[in-house]
Chains A and B, each alone.
Chain A
């Protein structure tokens, strides 16, 4: 995972790019479509990133260019949230598209996440 920091990785229409940034903050740009087929890749990528990150840091998922999330993708978000809590990290979802947000609302998941 660490060797991929800064590189854009594609998983079947989903593009991920991590910026370790500064001020104890890790930012992941999530672009494209998060579907059943690539949710497991997304989850593996994020799990490795969380395990390799310092405890207590902020994890920001930048989603301004994420256009579709399936329920499996939402399942991946929840696992990422649980894993980040275990490492005492704060997870923030930034700039989520209204269309994607409405899926989270429909399924009753908005209360669990911090949106910025």
Chain B
């Protein structure tokens, strides 16, 4: 059987570049498709045109030379060519090396033009990089806004904190005046003693018993007030700390709830009573700063929800913690109007808010979602309560570090 006729037709009609070159790159044969692809003619070939001039990267010739100088009789490489019009062609080249009758090396091969396939892949790769960069910028912007949201919340809380500090400061100041007066009275009494009044006479006239018993009460009250101020400033300091969001450590969730209630007191004290049902839970391994932010957002949201009701009756905010299936669960429920079911699927979206313009940024719940779900692989959800109000809950998985 003679197949050469079939192969000749295949080479002449195919969409693959077939070639024969000398070792130095001089083209001896190029099929019609190859001539069209490179933009040359049979005349150019007769004139001894060299294939090296089509290499987009002249260094590729070194690769070919090293193959020709080795023991290899064939090669399979990717090559980039520039045709006469300057178009970049990426080709998959297979070559076979053999010696002619004069003992000179000749290369027989074909190049399949894979430019479109490669270009598509490279375009996709570029798009992926650009998307990754855009995502990174978006994440940076989100982090900045999240921090701004945190600082804005602290700003809103500042008035409440000032109020809470002002109250004990008022009686500490008043007590200081009393103490000063008592000191003046005691000084006067000692003066009288030194002037030889009888002790009984002095005691009756100058209320010594009262002074001595009240001084202790006044000092105790001052100490209590100073402790209240210290507690609230410590709570605020802990909350406002800009720590590393990736660092996790053992965290006392129940204490954090008490801290949060401490600094957010003015947000709820005139509109709602707090009902605490804090269960016996272990320390939670988490990022405390972030979880503080979640607690504050959920508790302030609960207070805001109650405030939205037209009724002037005091509402209730119920906070519970528990351990279920070795997972620490938190929930806060309010007696507000509940969540409109038509917006239920948007509630954790960034920039979604039901608060009046200027009051909410719409980042609070989205931040909670990000912190609980993305950063702690936990779960956060809400449900409308049967009577009225909403309940927000979260679970921190693998919570304990024990």
A binds B: yes
Across-interface contacts of B135 in A (CB, < 8 A)? 85
Q: What B residues does A82 contact at CB under 8 A?
A: 128-129, 131-132
B335 within 8 A of A: no
Q: Would you give the shortest CB distance from A59 to chain B, in whole angstroms?
A: 14
Tell me the smallest distance from the CB of A44 to a CB of chain B, in Å: 17
Q: Chain A 74-116, CB within 8 Å of chain B: the 1/0 string?
A: 1100110110011010000000001100110011110010000
Cα A81 to Cα B131 in complex, Å, equals 12
Main secondary structure of the interface of B (DSSP, over half): helix
Residue of B at shortest CB range from A37? B76
* Interface check A68, CB cutoff 8 A: yes
Say whether A112 contacts B78, CB under 8 Å: no
* Contact in complex: B78, A106 (CB < 8 Å): no
What mask results when residues 119 to 131 of chain B are scored 1 for a CB within 8 Å of chain A, else 0? 0011001101101
Q: Which residues of B contact A35 (CB under 8 A)?
A: 77-78
Chain B residue nearest to A36 (CB atoms) is B78
- Please pick, from B62, B77, B125, B246, the residue contacting A74 in the complex, using a CB distance under 8 A: B125
Q: A81, B88: Cβ atoms under 8 Å?
A: no
Count of residues in A whose CB is under 8 Å from the partner chain: 25
- The verdict on A71 contacting chain B, using a C-beta distance below 8 Å, is yes
Q: Which of B62, B125, B132 contacts A75 (CB 8 A)?
A: B125
In the assembled complex, which residues on chain A have CB atoms less than 8 Å from the CB atom of B78? 35-36, 70-72
Task: Let me know if A71 and B136 touch, CB within 8 A.
Answer: no
Could you list 9 A-B pairs, sorted by A, with CB under 8 Å? A35-B78, A36-B78, A71-B90, A71-B121, A78-B128, A85-B135, A85-B136, A88-B136, A112-B129
Nearest 5 Cβ contacts at the A-B interface? A78-B125, A99-B59, A85-B132, A70-B78, A82-B132
Given contacts A78-B129, A99-B62, 17 further A-B contacts (CB under 8 A): A35-B77, A36-B78, A70-B78, A71-B121, A72-B78, A78-B126, A78-B128, A79-B125, A81-B132, A82-B129, A86-B132, A103-B57, A106-B56, A108-B126, A109-B126, A112-B126, A112-B129
